[in-house]
Amino acid sequence: MTSPRRALIRQPAPRLAEGLLTHIDRVPVDYPLACGQWFSYVEALTAAGWQTIEVPPAPDCPDGVFVEDTVVMVGDTAIITNPGARVRRPETIGTAEVLRDLDFRLEWISAGTLDGGDVLKVGTTIYVGRTLRTNAAGVATLRQICEPLGFTVIAVPVSKGPQGLPIGVQLIAMHGADERLLQVGQWASRALAAA
């Protein structure tokens, strides 16, 4: 039997306009419009066959709607992150409570910082962008949790280009060459780490 497709969701906080910005200038946020867009997002998930599970509201957390930053799912293990921005750390509490109630095994990024938005899983390989919000100790902690579960964690250095936007290494391959692409990615990660 396949596991149900589930998506954690959290309604936008009334303080959404105060959210953290890294790469863009602050512009006014139309809160009613944002809420309408969020409801459309939830409807789209449901229409696509996903079961949505609402995480308790976090009215004092402007970025709380981005629940994907608070957890990395690896099989039946929920790895609760330690966001690099201290003001975002309270967001993890509601996520952890919901996942515990769903009987997931909980692990925590207790050393270093890690944002779930910096993580990309491809098969049993987990790529982690080293950003302003995810540091080497956070990547190492994720690796300690994931390797015994059969996953490989690869740190990907990310920096900023002239416009202040994040840049990194992007690899592409022909259709069907996934294994080779992953090998090249692992080689590049080792080469960049040694540089």
Question: CATH number for the domain including 41?
Answer: 3.75.10.10
Q: How confident is the model at residue 185 (pLDDT cuts 50, 70, 90)?
A: confident
Q: Across residues 77-104, what is the average pLDDT?
A: 95
pLDDT, tens digit, for every residue of 9-63? 999 999 999 898 876 788 889 999 999 999 999 999 999 999 999 999 999 999 9
Mean pLDDT estimate for the chain? 89
Residue 172 lies in a domain: yes
pLDDT, tens digit, for every residue of 130-154? 888 999 999 999 999 999 999 999 9
CA atoms of 127 and 106, how far apart (whole Å): 20
CA angle, 169 as apex, 166 and 175 as ends, to 5°? 125
- pTM here is 0.80
Residue 20 structural domain: 6-194
CA atoms of 39 and 32, how far apart (whole Å): 11
Number of domains in the chain: 1
Query: Is the separation of the CB atoms in 126 and 155 below 8 Å?
Result: no
